[in-house]
Amino acid sequence: MANEALQAALTDRYDALSGSLRDRLISFVLAAFDSLGSYRDADAAEFIERVLPVVLGVQQQMGQITDAYLSAMIADMVGGAAAPAGVVLDEALRGTPPDEVYRRPFVQTWTALAAGKDFVDALGQGRNRLLSITETDLQLARTHAARQSMQRSGAKFFRRRLNKTSGTCALCVIASTQRYRVENLMPIHPGCHCKPEPLPGNKDPGQVIDEELLAEAHDAIARDVGQSDRGGRAPDYRDVIITREHGEIGPLLAVRRHSFTGPDDVPAA
């Protein structure tokens, strides 16, 4: 039988470690970007040479602590000793060379300047792009490691556990009431800090695993839009909150009306 106090302690420790990793990396990456003398090609190359090894190293650390956390959680659920065997994370988690990914904040800056934005605004756009990239890559390291760790353990299903120490969006709250299969990556979104958590047993618990929280979410939405139905019919939130397949990131939580740039939308070089 699972020890709830132990699992709570494991979760708190993991949240503290992963949050510290994220905060320190973001501070380092943004400071390196802010300290550049200019933002031309040479500066982009200098930035990538300095920052990328640290980014990749922290991604590996995120993978290792995620494996250790999930191994301990599953050991407590099924009985036995935790045995993290390590995970193998590709440097190109997106399927795109990371040096290309971390050049994009500079491209964002140059594009904004070409569109007539002043330097401060353009630089702010590039900085925000860098923040989003760094956070997303750390979350990808978490989800890729979690999938490997849970599959190795024999777990069949998992849930998305909300982060207690950071803000949580409505997308994540509703998604956290659902069960997922371990062979699938947990859907994420920019700025997402949720974590995968294995569900005990191998019997499918059904799609909705937290009826009470889902009802609370419906009630909250009803207060904002004036209508709700806990059966999901008026409106049907499955037609609002969906999972899209992003070409680089993988499964991405999204609102149906949002769209993504596809290959046909990118101009030829």
Single-letter amino acid code for the residue at 52: L
- CA–CA gap between residue 88 and residue 144 (Å, rounded): 9
Return the pLDDT at 259. 47
| Positions of the chain with pLDDT under 50 | 228-237, 239, 257-269
pLDDT tens profile 197-220: 888 878 887 878 777 777 776 666
- CA–CA gap between residue 256 and residue 235 (Å, rounded): 13
Return the pLDDT at 83. 72
Return the pLDDT at 265. 40
Q: How many CB atoms lie within 10 A of CB 191?
A: 14
Return the pLDDT at 216. 74
pLDDT tens profile 41-77: 999 999 999 999 999 999 999 999 999 999 998 888 8
CA distance readout (Å), 225 to 228, 254, 257: 8, 19, 16
- CA–CA gap between residue 261 and residue 269 (Å, rounded): 16
| CA-CA-CA-CA dihedral for 68, 69, 72, 77, to nearest 10 | -140
Return the pLDDT at 81. 67
Return the pLDDT at 141. 95
> Phi, psi (5° rounding) for residue 182?
-65, -20
Tokens of 162: 């909300």
Return the pLDDT at 258. 44
Which residue is it, tokens 């990239």? 133
CB 241 within 8 Å of CB 174: yes
E strands within the chain?
157-161, 179-181, 195-198, 241-246, 250-255
Which residue is it, tokens 């207060």? 223
Q: Where are the domains of the chain?
A: 4-265
The residue among 106, 21, 13 whose CA lies nearest residue 56 is 21
Ordered DSSP codes for 77-131:
HHSS----------S-TTSS-HHHHTTHHHHHHHHHHHTT--HHHHHHHHHHHHH
